[in-house]
């Protein structure tokens, strides 16, 4: 392949990439602009279970906010995700904190 052919092929590939645009994985998500949602009451003997309960409570709380609903309840899409856990009297008490986002 000549240098000119390589240059033309490269230009065509670049043009095709621009026309196709970003892949599906690069789509932007929309986050709730009013800050984080905090859910408590994750109480269990094991910390992992308490965190799971706190995350479930976070989803319930987000779903209950009138402007959010089901679209924002995905913990994996949320931003600034964090857990706050403390061990008291042999049980773990966790809260889940995150900014809800939707795809």
Q: How far is CA 81 from the centre of its chain?
A: 8
Q: Give the global pTM.
A: 0.71
Q: Mind listing the pLDDT tens digit for each residue in 21-80?
A: 344 455 688 999 998 999 988 899 999 999 999 999 999 999 998 788 889 999 999 999
What lies within 8 Å, CB to CB, of 28 at 6+ separation is none
d(CA 78, CA 74): 7
Return the closest-CA partner of residue 85 out of 43, 57, 56: 43
Give the pLDDT confidence score for residue 26 in this predicted structure: 54
Category of 36 on φ-ψ map: left (φ > 0), alpha (ψ -120 to 50) or beta: beta
């Amino acid at each position: 392949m000549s240098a000119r052919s390589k240059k033309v092929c490269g230009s065509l590939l670049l043009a095709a990439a621009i026309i196709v645009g970003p892949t599906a994985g690069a789509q932007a998500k929309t986050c709730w602009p009013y800050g984080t949602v905090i859910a408590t009451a994750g109480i269990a003997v094991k910390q992992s279970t308490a965190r799971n309960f706190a995350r479930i409570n976070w989803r319930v709380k987000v779903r209950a906010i009138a402007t959010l609903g089901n679209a924002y309840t995905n913990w994996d899409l949320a931003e600034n995700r964090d857990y706050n856990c403390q061990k008291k009297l042999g049980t773990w008490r966790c809260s889940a904190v995150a900014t809800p986002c939707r795809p």
